[in-house]
Amino acid sequence: MNTFPDLAHALRRSAELKEELVAFGEGRAFERFLAPLLAEAAGPEGALDEATAINVIDRFLLEYRLPDGGTVADRFVTGRTALSEADRQAVLGWRDPVEGLFEVRGKDGECLHLLNLLDDLEYRTYTNAGRSAFRSVTKRGFLGARLIPLATVSGAWLVSGVMSFYPRAAASEIAAAALDLATSQPDLVFRNQEKVEQGWRSMREDRVAFAEFFGSDELILAPQEAEDRINAYYRHKREVAAGQRPGPTRGKRRPDPDLPLFTLPPELMDSDTVGVIYDQVDGLNFYADYGSLLDLFANPDLAGRKHHQDLLRTYLREETITPLPISRLAAEHPQNVDTVFRRLLRQPGFTWSEHGDALLRRRKPWYYESEPRPGVSVIGDRLSELLRVRPR
């Protein structure tokens, strides 16, 4: 006998649980966390439409990290001791929603077959708001939506929050938005393990090309020179790619007016030097005043100077800086690294070989707690097709 609840029961129970979770999360216990998020979404004019408010609340319930590191969904499950184990697992499964821009591949009764343009995976999707919620959705149109797993129904997903439907005619705009999300939030792409593997391969190839172009995987340049040379590299890559395409453009060097220019962040433009490192794991990164940091490791007498001490402390403290630059300089200057850190930390017994790894893990736990991801996003075939189609 089949012991799993049927689809109708699963939809009904998910609706009940979500309603309870919303009421719980909108309670006074969480008001001080939710109110600022709603105010930010409303903007300076205080205008907040219902759909935006619902989506802000939905993200807050499932993903917002409370001071103890848990989510509202975690607190809900902990506080509802009467929940069945199936209900507990259903709510906990919602904490990792799939957010994306989806193409509607087909409709099958109360089910939508969606292709996520970001991770290139298909999702069999339902709603607990009734069939009318999908009435205006047509094949080959697009949805902006967040999906959560529909517990107990294998391979089924549920719309969470408010979805937005776009007609087929909006394909070029949707493709551009999907590309922007894929590059700015690569974790949305890397839900697909195949894309992770493709990303690593692509990054390794790009790193080799970078090192061949510059003669090294590490550069120390003035900020403006860094911008100019990185843009020269990207132009070179585009020209090489154009020269490899079949057809009448082979071998021709034509400027691409759509090629975006690389620009350094303003805080790096104020630096004396910028370090450019293309690492096999961390990818391509840029570091402020890296030349001064290199001088410190090359000449440990500089460890007594406030400027160099403050710089190294910044590299240790900032969450935007991975352990890479310190690890790399320590490996390149093994005869000096102990002296540098003994003076900085005022610990005469410090040795990099014994204590260096523990120091970095203590200062940058976030780096070691997360799984490495390639620094190159890989877009799917369908998104590539949509990007090649010019609007009429």
Flag whether pLDDT at 246 surpasses 70: no
Cβ atoms 120, 381 nearer than 8 A = yes
Find out whether 10 and 151 touch, Cβ atoms under 8 Å: yes
Residue 108's pLDDT is what? 87
Query: Each residue of 153-196: pLDDT tens digit?
Result: 889 999 999 999 999 999 999 999 999 999 888 889 999 999 99
d(CA 9, CA 24): 22
- Interval 58-67 mean pLDDT: 96
| The pLDDT of residue 231 is above 80 | yes
Q: Tell me whether residue 108 is exposed, middle or buried, using C-beta atoms within 10 angstroms of its C-beta: 0 to 12, 13 to 18, 19 or more.
A: exposed
Mean pLDDT, residues 22-32 taken together:
96
Nearest one of 274, 296, 273, 292 to 284, comparing CA atoms = 274
Q: Is the pLDDT of residue 3 over 50?
A: no
For the stretch 139-155, pLDDT in tens is: 999 999 999 999 888 89
Q: Using an 8 Å Cβ cutoff, are 104 and 112 in contact?
A: yes
Average pLDDT, the chain: 90
In the predicted model, is pLDDT for residue 73 greater than 50?
A: yes
Measured distance CA(222)–CA(260) in Å, rounded = 21
pLDDT (0 to 100) of residue 218 = 97
User: Which phi and psi (to 5°) does residue 164 adopt?
Assistant: -120, 130
3-state secondary structure of 243: helix
**How far does CA 137 lie from the centroid of its chain?**
28
Read off the pLDDT band of 391 (50, 70, 90).
low
Q: What global pTM score does this model have?
A: 0.76
pLDDT, position 254: 42
Q: Please write the tens of the pLDDT for every residue from 37-61.
A: 999 999 888 888 999 999 999 999 9
Alpha-carbon torsion (185, 187, 191, 192), positive or negative: positive
Per-position DSSP letters for 26-58, written without gaps between them:
TSGGGHHHHHHHHHHHHTTTT---HHHHHHHHH
Give 326-377 pLDDT, tens digit per residue. Answer: 999 999 999 999 999 999 999 999 999 999 999 999 999 999 988 898 988 8
For residue 366, give the DSSP letter.
H
Domains of the chain listed by start with CATH number:
7-93 (no CATH), 98-188 (2.40.50.140), 194-369 (no CATH)
| Distance between CA atoms of residues 349 and 341, nearest Å | 10
